[in-house]
Homo-oligomer: A and B are copies of this chain.
Amino acid sequence: MINAYAAFESGGELRPYEYEPVELTAEEVDIQVEHCGICHSDLSMINNEWGASQYPLVPGHEVVGVITAVGDNVADITVGQRVGLGWHSDYCFSCGSCDDDDHNLCASAQGTIVGRHGGFADKVRVHYQSVVALPEGIAPASAGPLFCGGITVFNPLVQYDIKPGQHVAVIGIGGLGHLALQFLRAWGCEVTAFTSSDSKQAEALALGAHHTINSTDKQAVKQAARRFDLILSTVNVSLSWNSYVEALKPKGRLHFVGATLEPLNISAFGLISAQRSISGSPVGSPATIKQMLAFAAEHKIAPQIESFSFDRVNDAIQHLADGKARYRVVLHR
């Protein structure tokens, strides 16, 4: 029996929920959950914002825990090992994306909390290739958010072969942005933080930014013309995107990891005149998660978290929903 917390209807409070998992297959492992981050997408799923929620819904896809069982065909993962689990918990392993080690782009990839039960529980059962071992130097208590928020901002650096010395900006200094600043600084980039919050400017500098620009100051954004190789947007509000396109160098890229629901009203001329791109990406593949963890351990990069015990899960959710998290909320036993 698995003891979990579930929402029983859209927007509902979480309540204790017990369920019997289906039998462990040869490729599955059990993780005894020690810590689980709360991500904005947990809120979106609880509230059925994407129309993909099934109730009872057990949220939680930033899991850190210990392996307690492994199926017969499981390789590399052993009982007693401490691992993490992110947004995906299974892949098809046969499509072009899986063949290319881009499992995160597999059209049949299974979301850990989409039609399955997630990590707000004492145990979660998933495909062994979706879990990644925690290396030495990564603190289990704060590692959870690396597996969704962290990999989401780290992955573009790998995908687009960002080089030390390049000029990179981050829009939005929150759960994702505060990790992006740390990664970029350690990656050797010249780092600028765009934030609408004056109070976050000093924090952004402390997290690794060399410069800050107020994202609501249109003149300041304009003055940054042709300055950045990459701008990473972590926000879910609409900004004057064409000003940010103009802030890109020739061949620069405005990359979205935060999704605004409103369409991006991009001028084709801004792209054409200087061979610029706009793009987006979801989380990363298990291989890139592994690379991120090694990099984070080497450079002592960690999520800044606020910790709540599992029995205060509803308080923790409310804290995040109120926009008060500095910067990421994690549940612990």
Mark A residues whose CB is within 8 Å of B: 96-97, 102, 105, 107, 159, 226, 249-251, 253, 256-257, 259-260, 263-282
| Distance, CA A280 to CA B274, complexed state (A) | 8
Contact A268 B260 (CB under 8 A): yes
Residue in B closest to A253 when the chains form the complex, CB atoms = B277
Residue from the list B96, B97, B259, B263 in contact with A272, Cβ < 8 A? B259
Q: How near does chain B come to A165, taking the closest CB pair, in angstroms?
A: 12
Given A272-B282, A277-B277, 9 more A-B residue pairs with CB atoms under 8 Å apart are: A102-B275, A107-B250, A107-B274, A264-B264, A264-B265, A264-B266, A271-B280, A272-B281, A278-B279
Residues of B within 8 A of A266 (CB): 263-264, 266, 278
What are 22 A-B interface contacts by the 8 Å CB criterion? Answer: A96-B249, A96-B250, A97-B250, A102-B275, A105-B251, A107-B226, A256-B272, A257-B272, A259-B268, A259-B272, A263-B268, A264-B264, A264-B268, A265-B265, A268-B280, A271-B278, A271-B279, A271-B281, A272-B280, A275-B281, A276-B279, A277-B278
Residues of B within 8 A of A259 (CB): 268-269, 272
Residues of B within 8 A of A269 (CB): 259, 280
| Distance, CA A331 to CA B269, complexed state (A) | 29
**A249, A257, A278 — most chain B CB neighbours (10 Å):** A278
| Distance, CA A277 to CA B248, complexed state (A) | 15
Q: Which 3 A-B pairs have the closest CB atoms?
A: A271-B280, A272-B280, A105-B250
| Distance, CA A159 to CA B268, complexed state (A) | 18
Contact B159 A275 (CB under 8 A): yes
**CB contact under 8 A between A282 and B277, given known A102-B250, A256-B268:** no
| Distance, CA A178 to CA B268, complexed state (A) | 22
| Distance, CA A271 to CA B249, complexed state (A) | 21
| Distance, CA A273 to CA B277, complexed state (A) | 16
Q: How near does chain B come to A214, taking the closest CB pair, in angstroms?
A: 23
Q: How near does chain B come to A240, taking the closest CB pair, in angstroms?
A: 12
**CB contact under 8 A between A277 and B275, given known A260-B268, A265-B263:** no
Q: How near does chain B come to A45, taking the closest CB pair, in angstroms?
A: 15
Residues of B within 8 A of A282 (CB): 272-273, 275
Residues of B within 8 A of A159 (CB): 275
Residue from the list B256, B267, B277 in contact with A279, Cβ < 8 A? B277
Residue in B closest to A106 when the chains form the complex, CB atoms = B250
Q: How near does chain B come to A101, taking the closest CB pair, in angstroms?
A: 12
Q: How near does chain B come to A266, taking the closest CB pair, in angstroms?
A: 5
| Distance, CA A268 to CA B259, complexed state (A) | 6
| Distance, CA A265 to CA B282, complexed state (A) | 20
| Distance, CA A264 to CA B251, complexed state (A) | 19
| Distance, CA A226 to CA B242, complexed state (A) | 27
Residues of B within 8 A of A226 (CB): 107
